[in-house]
Structures are given as structure tokens and as C-alpha cells.
């Protein structure tokens, strides 16, 4: 059974399920688009580098190359998640950028304190020094963007005036 406002009443139940909610906001704007572009570049760069390393010389530094592949996949997930507004994608975005921050800090610290673990660099080695420390800054920018662009925060700000 339907109502005039697009809601559906389920027979035998007293609940209303709305089906007409559509998010019409643009996925990202301004600096958000730049952030997504940088994430996209790192997704391609890290994934391609790790793929070539794993295919051509995986036996030389399997841990380092596998970690670079993980970093590449995290960048892919973060790129896609940051480009969308949905609740699930925002949660996925938060998970990706926090995982990325933990990975940069862990791998960066281990690469300095136990360099024998990494005979070759990963994307996150020495906190991303091979990439101008962008891998160390990127998750912080991702977290800042997710916090700043939170629909709940934006709505609360709009209500305050």
C-alpha cells in the first residue's frame, strides 16, 4: 500500500518505509575534487608500481611489494569512497583513510627502526619520503575533508544560521 508522499505501508505492520529520498548533493566540490584527484593519482601510481614489482621481482622484497599493493588498494577504495556522499561510502572512506594513516605510521616507523624488513621501499616507507611525504599528509587531508563535509555537520551549521 502506498501513500501520497512516496512512503510504503507494509500490511500488518505499523511502520512506514520511505522510498522517495534522493540525495541530490554533488559528490565533491572545490578542494574536495582536488583531494579526490590526488587520491586517484596515488591509486594508479601505487597499484601500477606494486603490480610491476610483484610480477617482475616479487622474490626480492615480497613484504615491501605486498604492502605497496595494499597501499594501492587502499588508495583506490579511498578515491571511490571520497567521491560519493552516501552513508556507506562515507563509512568506507573513514575506514580507508584511518587504515591508511595507521599503515603510514606503522610502515614508516618500521622502515626506520627495522630497515632489514624492507630491502626495497614501499609507498609508505619512511613516511612516504619517496613521494615527497604526500602519503603521510594525504590521510590527514582525507580525515579533514570527511569531517568538514559531513552532512550532519553541514545540516547543523545551516540550522544555527
More confident residue, 12 or 125: 125
User: What percentage of the chain has pLDDT greater than the value 90?
Assistant: 61
- Tell me the CA distances in angstroms from 33 to 9, 54, 142, 154, 157, one per residue in order: 40, 31, 11, 18, 22
Q: Is the pTM of the predicted complex or chain greater than 0.75? A: yes
Could you read off the pLDDT of 12-21 as tens digits, one per residue? Answer: 555 544 454 5
Could you read off the pLDDT of 6-46 as tens digits, one per residue? Answer: 545 455 555 544 454 555 555 556 788 999 999 999 999 99
DSSP the chain: -B-TTSEEEPTT---EEE------S-S--THHHHHHHHHHHHHHHHHHHHHHHHHHHTTT-HHHHHHHHHHHHHHHHHHHHHT--SHHHHHHHHHHHHHHHHHHHHHHHHHHH-GGG-SS--TTGGGGGGGTTHHHHHHHHHHHHHHHT-HHHHHHHHHH-
| Predicted pLDDT at 158 | 77
| Predicted pLDDT at 2 | 47
Nearest to 78 by CA among 151, 140, 24, 152: 140
Amino acid at each position: 500500500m502506498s501513500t501520497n508522499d512516496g512512503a510504503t505501508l507494509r500490511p500488518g505492520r505499523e511502520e512506514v518505509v520511505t522510498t522517495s529520498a534522493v540525495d541530490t548533493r554533488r559528490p565533491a566540490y572545490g578542494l574536495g575534487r582536488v583531494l579526490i584527484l590526488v587520491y586517484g593519482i596515488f591509486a594508479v601510481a601505487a597499484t601500477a608500481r606494486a603490480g610491476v614489482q610483484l610480477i617482475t621481482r616479487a622474490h626480492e622484497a615480497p613484504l615491501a611489494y605486498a604492502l605497496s599493493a595494499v597501499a594501492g588498494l587502499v588508495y583506490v577504495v579511498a578515491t571511490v569512497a571520497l567521491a560519493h556522499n552516501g552513508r556507506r561510502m562515507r563509512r568506507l572512506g573513514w575506514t580507508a583513510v584511518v587504515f591508511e594513516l595507521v599503515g603510514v605510521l606503522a610502515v614508516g616507523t618500521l622502515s626506520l627502526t627495522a630497515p632489514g624488513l624492507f630491502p626495497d621501499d614501499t609507498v609508505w616507507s619512511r613516511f612516504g619520503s619517496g613521494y615527497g611525504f604526500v602519503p603521510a599528509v594525504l590521510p590527514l587531508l582525507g580525515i579533514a575533508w570527511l569531517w568538514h563535509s559531513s552532512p550532519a555537520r553541514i545540516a547543523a551549521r545551516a540550522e544555527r544560521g
